[in-house]
Amino acid sequence: MTTSFFPPQRTLMGPGPSDVSPRVLGALSRPTIGHLDPLFVQLMDEIKGLLQYAFQTNNELTLPISAPGSAGMEACFVNLVSPGDTVIVCQNGVFGGRMKENVERCGARAVMVEDAWGEPVSLDKVAAAFADHPEANTLAFVHAETSTGVRSDAEALCALARDNNALSIVDTVTSLAGIELKVDDWGADAVYSGTQKCLSCIPGISPVTFSQRAVERIQSREQKVQSWFLDMQLVMGYWGGSAKRAYHHTAPVNDLYALHESLVMLQEEGLENAFVRHQRNHHALVAGLEAMGLSMAVAAEHRLPQLNAVNIPDGVDDANVRSALLNDFNLEIGAGLGGLAGKTWRIGLMGFASSEHNVLGCLTALEAVLTREGASINASAALPAAQAHFSGQ
């Protein structure tokens, strides 16, 4: 007989999921009510308003997709892209490649703009791609590349799209609630995110928002959206503004309790305060890592405070170190992905996990494990460097 599962209490400092607050876990386990219950419909309205705040948008079509971020990505592509379209896709990490897959599975053509992993998207290359492909009607890019820890200039990229009469599809899975994101001010058109990063909610839900321009394109489609589940014209009937909600699919009721609570916590803290907290903890972590003798993989001006890519020192066994952190310290950090596997670690400081306690705990554990592994580091230098940073604030 299989028995109940009791997970250990980990500290999640990888690329997500991040630590979930006890408040959010408490909300998650409240009694399930029906997805058409009038009280649930009120909750849906509150979630919409809270997501509009998080995204900094007044977009009417702002809602959580009932599936993980990959499905949110797919929702943006299948609704906005039609067969025969040309889409400029920026790739500077894993997720640009996934966008290309989405474009091609929509029967459209992906024009790739490639930058090195660890570098931001080049505005000049995107401008050149538009010049070469005046038929392109969509630009897709990742704001915060989870695979490398790099921030691209989303504001400038959205402006480039507008200047070329294209709509923008923006991956904000790792940026939402961690760094500045202004959907309306920047004129982003279709934006998706995830719950398990800087919102510090459980994984499984993907907040999305669509501009009026995006809605118009969806409404003027000649072909049906290839996905019934992700067809925004149908989803709108359930999440739309009218009092009468048309059943589309059964909403993930408890997951939405959790999302609501995580957004209430974000509102209580305030977006700006959350950004400052992410920055402070990031700088302290970097100070500690550099004092230890490690080096960051991304240039300072492009670093994401919520996801810190660190070069693995020569001669150190990547998997050994991560296993030791997990088994001896209950601490999860992330491996490198794709071309960076074995070369970098990704240390997340996302949402609830972005705390002084976690910065100091991670430095302590990493120092202990690297020392044990025989790495040449500056023992005992990391903690004072990080603490000095905190006390200096």
Applying CB under 8 A, the span of 54-62, 137-145, 226-234, 374-382 interacting with a second copy comes to 226-234
Among 60, 133, 229, 371, binds a second copy (CB under 8 A): 229
Applying CB under 8 A, the span of 65-73, 116-124, 213-221, 355-363 interacting with a second copy comes to 65-73
Q: Restricting to residues 265-304, name those near a second copy by CB under 8 A.
A: 267-268
Helices then strands, each counted (H, E), the chain:
14, 13
Does residue 3 belong to the site contacting a second copy (CB under 8 A)? yes
Q: Please name the amino acid found at residue 368.
A: A
Does residue 355 belong to the site contacting a second copy (CB under 8 A)? no
Q: Restricting to residues 137-196, name those near a second copy by CB under 8 A.
A: 194, 196
List beta partners, residue 11.
Answer: 331
For 138, list phi and psi in degrees, rounded to 5: -150, 140
Closest C-alpha to 89, from 123, 112, 117, 119 = 112
The H-assigned helical ranges of 34-147 are 38-55, 69-80, 94-105, 123-132
| Residue window 98-127: x/- pattern of binding to a second copy, with contact defined by CB under 8 A | x--xx-xxx---------------------
**Computed over its alpha carbons, how large is the radius of gyration of the chain?**
21
**Encoded tokens for 104:** 């091609």
Does residue 378 belong to the site contacting a second copy (CB under 8 A)? no
Among 225, 287, 291, 360, binds a second copy (CB under 8 A): 225
Q: In angstroms, what is the minimal distance from the CB of 162 to a second copy?
A: 27
The H-assigned helical ranges of 293-381 are 318-329, 356-372
Contacts of 218 (CB under 8 A, 6+ apart): 79, 80, 210, 225, 232, 233
Looking at the Cβ atoms of 260 and 389, the one nearer to a second copy is 260
For 344, list phi and psi in degrees, rounded to 5: -130, 160
Q: Restricting to residues 70-89, name those near a second copy by CB under 8 A.
A: 70-71, 73-74
Cα gap 26→46, rounded to integer Å: 18
Does residue 41 belong to the site contacting a second copy (CB under 8 A)? no
Does residue 254 belong to the site contacting a second copy (CB under 8 A)? yes
Q: In angstroms, what is the minimal distance from the CB of 90 to a second copy?
A: 18
CB 225, CB 105: distance < 8 Å? no
Q: In angstroms, what is the minimal distance from the CB of 286 to a second copy?
A: 23
Applying CB under 8 A, the span of 134-142, 199-207, 211-219, 357-365 interacting with a second copy comes to 199-207
**Encoded tokens for 120:** 């931001």
DSSP code of residue 351: G
Positive/negative CA dihedral, 365, 370, 372, 373: positive
The number of C-alpha atoms within 13 Å of 53 and in the hemisphere containing its C-beta is: 19
Does residue 66 belong to the site contacting a second copy (CB under 8 A)? yes
Does residue 202 belong to the site contacting a second copy (CB under 8 A)? yes
Applying CB under 8 A, the span of 112-120, 248-256, 355-363, 383-391 interacting with a second copy comes to 248-256
Looking at the Cβ atoms of 291 and 340, the one nearer to a second copy is 340
Residues in the chain: 393
Applying CB under 8 A, the span of 85-93, 163-171, 220-228, 301-309 interacting with a second copy comes to 220-228
Among 326, 368, 381, 383, binds a second copy (CB under 8 A): 326
Q: Restricting to residues 13-32, name those near a second copy by CB under 8 A.
A: 14, 16-17, 19-20, 23, 25-32
